[in-house]
Amino acid sequence: MDFGTAVAELGALVETLEREGDERALLLLELVDAIHRPALARILDGDLDDPTAQTLLAMYDLVDVDDHVLAEEALDSVRPYIESHGGHVELLDVVGGEVHLRLGGACDGCAGSTLTLTRGIEEALREHLPGYERIVAHPPEPVAGGLPMAAAQEPPPITELLQIQLIRPDSGAVASLPRPVFAAVASLEELPPGAMQVVDADGTAVLLANVGGEVYAVRDGCPLDGRTLAGGKLSGSVVVCPWHNCSFDVRSGRSAEDEQLPQRLGVVPVAVQDGLLKVAVNVA
């Protein structure tokens, strides 16, 4: 079937489903839109490395198995906590079940802090990355003068702190591509245009924002230290952190002041069904 014919038949089928009012079919259309719309926006922006874009491309086998995306999503879930302790984590590579990381900042100079943070990272990787086996740590990058960060404190080698027990996946098991799991979190009536609200989605705090009648969702927490964005100000599509006065676009998660900044909000898929707002923070 050629592209033009497919588009025409799809349009006719959608009209038929809308007339018949099949709730499951309408939900399917809403979910497809909720996943495709933000992902296509990232692709049009040229941000192919964005987890949302990678998920959509992977659904159509247009990219390799997106272990890097899943690993980044896992790290995003613990980055606010790590950064609140003055540290940072960088994903270097994913090879098989091995996740190559570089920890730096304050957590590099304190053995107890590093071990605690590493355990949190490992739990997140086990939850988000099928086939995860172990962390492979890399030393911090040198700074001016050729000395590693926190060298004056003579911390134990970070590789010794990250020796995680190897747990092999089931032999021969091939993990299917995870799909978003949507959960109802609020009523659309509770979120008029120009309003924002923090809700709980399966234990994860999510910030909902109604931008001109279009609802967007991001993980709640300022990228600088993880503090809640509740109490902040929503101006158009930009939310301003009440703690640091930094601002981020809820449509893309990027900084509204400098899009090149690495700090960003984690965008969450959102859908509307029967007047209910649903978000997907987990996969299955």
Q: Which CATH superfamily is 67-161 part of?
A: Fe-S cluster assembly (FSCA) (3.30.300.130)
* In the chain, where the domains are located: 3-59, 67-161, 180-283
Walk along the chain (284 residues) and give the pLDDT tens digit of each residue: 677 787 788 888 888 887 887 788 888 888 888 888 988 988 888 887 777 887 787 777 675 546 887 888 888 888 877 776 677 888 998 888 889 998 876 554 444 445 556 777 888 888 888 888 888 888 876 654 554 444 333 333 333 333 333 333 344 443 333 456 788 999 999 999 999 999 999 889 999 999 998 899 999 999 988 899 999 999 999 999 999 999 999 988 889 988 778 888 988 888 888 889 998 887 65
pTM over 0.85, yes/no:
no
**3-state secondary structure string, the chain?**
CCHHHHHHHHHHHHHHHHHHCCHHHHHHHHHHHHHHHHHHHHHHCCCCCCHHHHHHHHHCCCCCCCHHHHHHHHHHHHHHHHHHCCEEEEEEEEECCEEEEEEEEHHHHCHHHHHHHHHHHHHHHHHHCCCCCEEEEECCCECHHHCECCHHHCCCCHHHHCCCCCCCCCCCCCCCCCCEEEEEEEEHHHCCCCCEEEEEECCEEEEEEEECCEEEEEECCCCCCCCCCCCCEEECCEEECCCCCCEEECCCCCECCCCCCCCCCCEECEEEECCEEEEEEEEC
Q: Which CATH superfamily is 180-283 part of?
A: Rieske [2Fe-2S] iron-sulphur domain (2.102.10.10)
